[in-house]
């Protein structure tokens, strides 16, 4: 009798274990095994405020971030204010692949987030905020018609790939105590880039910051500065000023 009950108990335990494995979500069709798709995605959320073109997220009692663009204009003028709030941030991917041709960013904006204007093939002109501090990764990635960009003295950081694949022919890094480093691939694959003006405040440039630019780049920088040494190490043309 004792052997019978032991056998019965063992069968029950086996059945329970099998049941548990069957419902554990470990099959190939489970969400946990779903492949993550490449690219950058921003979760869809309803903005706090809206007008006929833009959606806004309230950052504080007096600041807004643009999080959505519902218009169809190819020439964009970012508003300085809306409903007594000041627009200070342009959010992730807001204008990505919107077929833009020109952008005017007001001086109230201090941050441009990742992928913000990426992949606008016809984007030719950008009027930059004079007070922008941060430009995110891939912010202007793959904008081959973009001919120039002006970075203000307020700039603190520019993300990786920020200007990769743009059509800029020259770039000036301003003399700024807050901006001292050029990150990886920041100006890579710029087909027209030939001249880079560096302030003496720049003390670090990634080896691949200008990767795959087909033209030989000339660096203009103060005599004896890091920029001149970088040019020599990477076989760039240089001019000391």
pLDDT of amino acid 152: 95
User: If 0-12 CB within 10 Å is exposed, 13-18 middle and 19+ buried, where does residue 52 land?
Assistant: exposed
Residue with tokens 């309230």: 58
Kindly report the pTM of this predicted structure. Answer: 0.81
pLDDT of amino acid 43: 52
d(Cα 202, Cα 118) in Å, to the nearest integer?
26
d(Cα 193, Cα 22) in Å, to the nearest integer?
59
Range 95-111 burial, b when 16+ CB lie within 10 A, else e: bbebebebbebbebbbb
pLDDT of amino acid 47: 85
pLDDT of amino acid 168: 98
Maximum C-alpha span of the chain: 100
What are the sequence ranges of the domains in the chain? 43-166, 169-241
Q: What is the CATH number of domain 43-166?
A: 3.80.10.10
DSSP 85: E
pLDDT in single tens digits along all 241 residues of the chain: 444 444 444 444 444 444 443 444 333 443 334 333 334 455 546 789 999 999 999 999 999 999 999 999 999 999 999 999 999 999 999 999 999 999 999 999 999 999 999 999 999 999 999 999 999 999 999 999 999 999 999 999 999 999 999 999 999 999 988 999 999 999 999 999 999 999 999 999 999 999 999 999 999 999 999 999 999 999 999 999 9
pLDDT of amino acid 45: 63
């Amino acid at each position: 009798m004792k052997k019978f009950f032991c056998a019965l108990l063992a069968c029950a335990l086996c059945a329970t274990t099998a049941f548990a494995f069957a419902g554990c979500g470990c099959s190939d069709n489970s969400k946990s095994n779903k492949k993550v798709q490449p690219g950058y995605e921003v979760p869809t959320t309803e903005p706090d405020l809206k007008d006929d073109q833009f959606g806004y997220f309230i950052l504080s009692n007096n600041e807004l971030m643009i999080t959505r663009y519902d218009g169809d204009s190819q020439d964009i003028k970012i508003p300085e204010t809306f409903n007594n709030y000041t627009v200070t941030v342009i959010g992730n991917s807001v204008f990505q692949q919107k077929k833009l041709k020109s952008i005017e960013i007001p001086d109230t904006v201090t941050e441009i987030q990742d992928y913000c204007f990426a992949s606008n093939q016809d984007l030719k002109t950008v009027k930059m905020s004079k007070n922008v501090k941060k430009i995110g990764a891939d912010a202007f990635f793959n904008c081959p018609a973009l001919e120039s960009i002006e970075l203000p003295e307020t700039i603190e950081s520019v993300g990786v790939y920020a200007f990769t694949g743009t059509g800029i022919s020259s770039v000036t890094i301003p003399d700024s105590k807050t901006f001292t480093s050029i990150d990886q691939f920041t100006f890579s694959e710029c087909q027209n880039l030939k001249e880079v003006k560096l302030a003496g405040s720049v003390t670090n440039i990634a080896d691949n910051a200008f990767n795959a630019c087909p033209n030989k780049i000339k660096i203009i920088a103060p005599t004896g500065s890091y920029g001149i040494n970088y040019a020599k190490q990477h076989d760039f043309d240089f001019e000391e000023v």
